[in-house]
Structures are given as C-alpha cells and as structure tokens.
Amino acid sequence: MRWLLVLPLLVGCFSKPGFHGNGGDDDVDSGTSGPHTAPAVRFVRNAYYSGNSRSSGMTSTGFSISTNGIAPGELVILIADVDNGGPQEYPPMAGFTQLTRNYWGAGIDGQSFMIAWKIASAMEPATYDETYGDGGSGATTVTMLAATGFDPEMPLGPFSVNIDTAGSTMPDGWTAGVTTEIDHSALVYVNGADWLIGHGNATFTIPNGFTELTEFGDNGNTGFDWSTQEVAWKVAADAGTTGPVTAKTTAVNAGGAVTGYGIGALLSIRPVP
C-alpha cells in the first residue's frame, strides 16, 4: 500500500508557469538583464513513517516535521510521498501554497504526492503538522528544504510533474523539464516511487549535473516498506529550456528485484531580480 501528494487527479505530464508569492501582475520582468545571483537551496530534514521505524510525531494518520533551523524570510518547501491515500490525502496546510498534489493507481495500489511552499515568518510553529484527508498510511516520506536568495515577489518559476504509469523494476522519475524565465534559477528535482512489493532496499541515481540533497525510504534510510523519495538540485546558469530531467530507482528484497511506479517533478526557484 502507498501514497503520494497530488492536486489534479492526473496521469501523465503536467506543467505550470511561475507562481507569484503575493498575487502580483503576471507581466513580470523576465530577468534578461542578468546575470543574477542564484538562490541557494539546502536540505533541512526528513520525516518518515513505516511499520519498522518513524520520526518524531509521525503517525499513520498524519505527518509532523520540526521547523528547527528554519529562519524568517526563507523559502520553505515540503515534499511528501505517501503510500495509499486519495485525491484529498494532503489537505491545504495553513500558510502554505500547494504547488502540486497527485494521486494515481487506485486500481493498482494507490500513491499520494505533494509539494507545498511558504515564506517563513518570525512566528513559525515548532512543527508543521497535517492530518491526512483520505485515510491513513503505513509508509510515508516527507522532505523539508529551505532556500535563500529568491525573488520574494515571485519565488517559484515554472514546474513540471509526470507519473510513470507503466511500472517496472526501474521506476522512472522522468520529467519533461521546464523553461526557466531568468538566468541562474535554481532547479529542484524530486523522484518518488511506490513499490508494489514491500520491505526492500533502494538504490538511487542522480540526474546529470544535479547535486543530491537526500535519498531515503519510509524506514528513514534506504530501506522501505512501500515508499521512497530522492531530492536533488542545481543552478541553471542560462534562462531557457532544460530538456527532460530524469533518474531511476531500483530496489531489491528477499525475493529479488521489486516492481514500482515512479513520479518525477522539477520546480524552479527565481533569483532576486
């Protein structure tokens, strides 16, 4: 059983243009007068839940992740990949904007995926918590990132997400890529997997030119019951089309190679104009 976060109920590829931080005019400066200074993205922490292990505050009915280390004014990004669930597994969280929320595979097993973001205030709670909206999960992975040096008026540029519906022993986190609007945008890549046979150990690959931020399963290491997640980033020095970005995950358990379904997402963070 598995879940992942998902907004539109979709199978296939989905992309969106940039997202304004506070509802500004869509006719923004493309940033062609650069060069600009790239945002810096860092890993803050993971949260996880499975039958074998769980991080503080995590349960089968909701997730909790500490905000320790987040500074006021930073861009906070939450990425969740959860076994099972449904279209409403990740309700909108107070103060956060959901970039994408996906659910697929109901006839197979089911997985829920979500990416959400906010700009941290001086009064952030000690933890970010949310109760799942479509039932519980026995296998959850959550990553929290923080970024500095971003455009506070329009933090995020274009993004894309794609679901691998074929299923294989090498689930594919393929994305079509994005077309960045401004030079020195930061790119964050996510590769999630929903495994049909549980209790294995995963091996991750990294997209060309990216630096890995985290790779883990719902056991808190590369071991998993049903879900795994990988996050990596890079700076796109020039504005323009990235082309496809992809990475694959493999896994084995006591019975051999494990079949799974992948999801890939690529989001861009705009630098200060």
pLDDT in tens, 21-65: 443 333 334 444 669 999 999 999 999 999 889 999 999 999 999
Mean pLDDT of 120-127: 97
Residue 114 CA to residue 130 CA, distance in Å, equals 12
Tell whether omega for the bond before 152 is within 30 degrees of 0, i.e. cis.
no
Query: DSSP E strands: which ranges in 50-205?
Result: 62-66, 75-83, 97-104, 111-119, 127-131, 140-148, 156-163, 179-180, 185-195, 200-204
Residue 11 CA to residue 81 CA, distance in Å, equals 16
Digit-coded pLDDT (tens) for 148-204: 999 999 999 999 999 988 889 999 999 999 999 999 999 999 999 999 888 999 999
Return the minimum-mean-pLDDT range out of 102-106, 124-128, 200-204, 235-239. 102-106
Q: Mean pLDDT for the chain? A: 87
Residues 54, 265, 231, 198, CA torsion sign: positive
Spans of all domains in the chain: 39-269
User: Is the pLDDT reported for residue 220 higher than 70?
Assistant: yes
Query: Which pLDDT band, with edges at 50, 70 and 90, does 91 fall under?
Result: confident
Q: Is the pTM of this model over 0.75?
A: yes
User: Is the pLDDT reported for residue 216 higher than 90?
Assistant: yes
What is the reported pLDDT for 28? 37
User: Is the pLDDT reported for residue 96 higher than 90?
Assistant: yes
DSSP label at 3? B
Strand partners, 84: 3
What is the reported pLDDT for 15? 53
Cα atoms in the 13 Å half-sphere on the side-chain side of 101 = 18
Considering only CA atoms, which of 203, 199, 157, 162 is closest in space to residue 181? 157
User: Is the pLDDT reported for residue 269 higher than 90?
Assistant: yes
Report whether 57 contacts 49 (CB < 8 A): no
What are 146's two structure tokens?
């923080």
Report whether 14 contacts 177 (CB < 8 A): no
Digit-coded pLDDT (tens) for 124-159: 999 999 999 887 888 999 999 999 999 999 999 999
What is the reported pLDDT for 167? 85
